[in-house]
Amino acid sequence: MRITLLACFCITAGPTAVAQSWPARPIHIVVPYAPGGAVDIVARVAGQGLSERLKQPVLIDNKPGAGANIGMDAVAKSAPDGYTLLMAANALATNGSLFAKLTFDPQKDFAPVGLIGNAPLVVVVPANSPFHTFNELITSAKADPGKLTFGSAGNGSSGHLAGEALRQSAHIDVMHIPYKGGAPALTDLLGERISFMPINAVEAITHINDHKLRALAVAGPNHLALLPNTPTAAEAGLSDFNVSVWWGLMAPAGTPASVVDHLNAELQKVLLEPAIRTRLAELGVVISGGTPAQFGDFIHTETTRWGRLVKAANIKPD
């Protein structure tokens, strides 16, 4: 009887004991991209805030490659103890449809911790473009099917998927030009070798302010703080053209719920800190927050939505 009672106590007290002892050592956030990009910067901002609240170092491990699959695979196969986390982004919701075979299951191998925020993409054109409004761009694309081109960081990237979403939403025929990264695509846009580009506003804001690019529309329901005078796609009549890049924390599946809840609670407090909010706003991030369950629902919706588009447009990662 004593053994039975002790076993029951251990089962009941286990999660509580884990929550009370966690974290007892440094936490690693795996960023499945190279240093310097938006995902990396958001991870470092959030990581610094979490480090201060949890009283433990939060270290950023960059593991780029294979369209973010290398980093995601590393976290999926990590011990579910709360010490290895993933800074998740759009690839978590799209790669299951883009890649025929993955070494991990995006829907089953991770436990949602919390959504940090999102940044609506912006449709931009060169400063010398004949298009001064979003409607002018759409009208021209309809008048000359296949003539206008848009660039992206590569097949399956957020910019590519945004262009395909615009193609479907506006019923236009435009040609996709994939590049090996966002920088060369932006260079060709500035050089007027492509017609337009859906892009993260932070990547384009300097060129917009220098009058080298013109922002035509925000691919979201609300105006963007970085570009308060740029209309939304909905204002141009395309209410369903809504494309954002987003960021959130994930843990390996099987991580104790007590640890996930503890981490989520601290993340919510970090996202309320004025210095953090200011820094993220400078990056064009619209802070979201929310519970692990809400983040899980968000990922499910994104996975379903982009899976349909990838299939309909027959998009391949290569």
Whether 152 and 69 map to the same domain: the answer is no
Structure-model confidence comparison of residues 157 and 317, the more confident one: 157
Residue 41 DSSP symbol? H
| pLDDT on residue 236 | 87
**pLDDT > 70: what percent of the chain?**
93
Whether 261 and 187 map to the same domain: the answer is no
In a domain, 12, yes or no: no
In a domain, 183, yes or no: yes
pLDDT grade for 237, boundaries at 50, 70 and 90 = confident
Q: What is the CATH number of the domain that holds 67?
A: 3.40.190.150
Point out the domain boundary residue: 217, 236, 255: 236
| pLDDT on residue 27 | 98
| pLDDT on residue 20 | 67
Whether 194 and 45 map to the same domain: the answer is no
Mean pLDDT over 128-146 rounds to 97
Residue 10 pLDDT > 80, yes or no? Answer: no
Look at residues 62, 117, 51 and name the one whose alpha carbon lies nearest to residue 86.
62
Residue 232 DSSP symbol? B
Whether 125 and 222 map to the same domain: the answer is yes
Whether 128 and 222 map to the same domain: the answer is yes
Phi, psi torsion values for 23, nearest 5 degrees: -95, 140
| pLDDT on residue 39 | 93
Give, in order, the Cα–Cα distances in Å from 228 to each of 60, 136, 223, 279, 284.
33, 20, 6, 18, 11
pLDDT digits (tens, 9 = 90+) for 84-115: 999 999 999 999 999 989 999 999 999 999 99
Whether 131 and 276 map to the same domain: the answer is no
Whether 212 and 301 map to the same domain: the answer is no
| pLDDT on residue 35 | 92
Mean pLDDT of the chain: 93
In a domain, 16, yes or no: no
Whether 111 and 250 map to the same domain: the answer is yes
pLDDT grade for 202, boundaries at 50, 70 and 90 = confident
Give, in order, the Cα–Cα distances in Å from 161 to each of 22, 64, 65, 91, 197.
39, 20, 19, 11, 11
In a domain, 53, yes or no: yes
In a domain, 168, yes or no: yes
Whether 111 and 172 map to the same domain: the answer is no
| pLDDT on residue 181 | 86
Beta strands 110-126 and 286-287 are: antiparallel
Looking up tokens 């963007």, which residue turns up?
224
pLDDT grade for 8, boundaries at 50, 70 and 90 = low
| pLDDT on residue 37 | 87
Q: What is the CATH number of the domain that holds 164?
A: 3.40.190.10
Residue 10 CA from chain centroid, whole number: 39
| pLDDT on residue 254 | 98
Whether 112 and 126 map to the same domain: the answer is no
| pLDDT on residue 51 | 98
Domain that holds residue 166: 119-236
Residue 19 pLDDT > 70, yes or no? Answer: no
Look at residues 206, 196, 156, 161 and name the one whose alpha carbon lies nearest to residue 180.
156
Point out the domain boundary residue: 169, 204, 236: 236
Counting the structural domains of the chain, the total is 2
**pTM assigned to the model:** 0.89
Structure-model confidence comparison of residues 8 and 48, the more confident one: 48
In a domain, 17, yes or no: no
Residue 44 pLDDT > 90, yes or no? Answer: yes
In a domain, 241, yes or no: no
Whether 103 and 123 map to the same domain: the answer is no
Mean pLDDT over 28-57 rounds to 95
Whether 258 and 305 map to the same domain: the answer is yes
Determine the angle formed by the axes of helices 158-170 and 134-143, rounding to 10 degrees.
70
Mean pLDDT over 166-187 rounds to 94
Residue 13 pLDDT > 60, yes or no? Answer: no
By mean pLDDT, which of 17-26, 31-40, 55-64, 269-278 is the weakest?
Answer: 17-26
